[in-house]
Amino acid sequence: MKNFVITSTNEAKNKAALQAIFEVFGSGNVFHKVPAPSGVKPTPLSDEECIRGARNRVKFARNSQPNADYYIGAEGGLCHIDNKWFIGGWVAVENKEGIEHLGSSARVELPSFIVEVINTDVPLSKVVVPENFPPDLYARRDTLGTNGLITAGIYTRVNEFYDALKVALSCFNLK
């Protein structure tokens, strides 16, 4: 049985964490949800900033819950590659010995109607407006995330953080 601290109360991130932890470590684990500040912009605009946000969350969790086996910090954001903007997520996982592994999600290209209104000080969630999506899809935006809205539910926020976390956790199984 492992003791995990998950640095979010976000439903999608927590669902992803439970799925990935079960797949990598099996059942019977203990989870603590600790809201942790990222210390970065509301919507990070680079992979480096996302990683810094995930690491900041882990550091906060380690200080508030020093006896866990693993600390998980997740941060979603944007990155600019080859003149295109993409959305994706990063996860930092640190074990009780201080060993860290990172994982990233797949990237989803942002459509032009979102790229045109990207603002460094405004969360992406405030930029993504209902006029651009079917009402039934937009009503599920908290779980779907922006990437889920863009892909019509095919690659959601849960998928994003599940992928990133599964990659990072699996690295702890290496000898």
117 is a domain residue: no
Q: Which residues contact 37 (CB under 8 A, 6 or more apart)?
A: 56, 57, 60
168 is a domain residue: yes
89 is a domain residue: yes
Q: Which helix (H) or strand (E) holds 67?
A: none
Model confidence at 175, in pLDDT bands (50, 70, 90)? low
Alpha helices for the chain (secondary structure H): 11-25, 47-64, 112-115, 124-127, 135-138, 141-150, 157-170
Total count of domains within the chain: 1
- pLDDT tens digits, residue range 36-81? 999 999 899 999 999 999 999 999 999 999 999 999 999 999 999 9
Reduced to 3 states (helix: H, G, I; strand: E, B; else coil), residue 165 is helix
- pLDDT tens digits, residue range 120-153? 677 888 888 899 999 999 999 988 999 999 999 9
Q: CATH number of the domain at 161, please.
A: 3.90.950.10
122 is a domain residue: no
Domain boundaries, position 34: 3-109+156-173
132 is a domain residue: no
66 is a domain residue: yes
17 is a domain residue: yes
For the record, the structure tokens of 109 come out as 């290209």
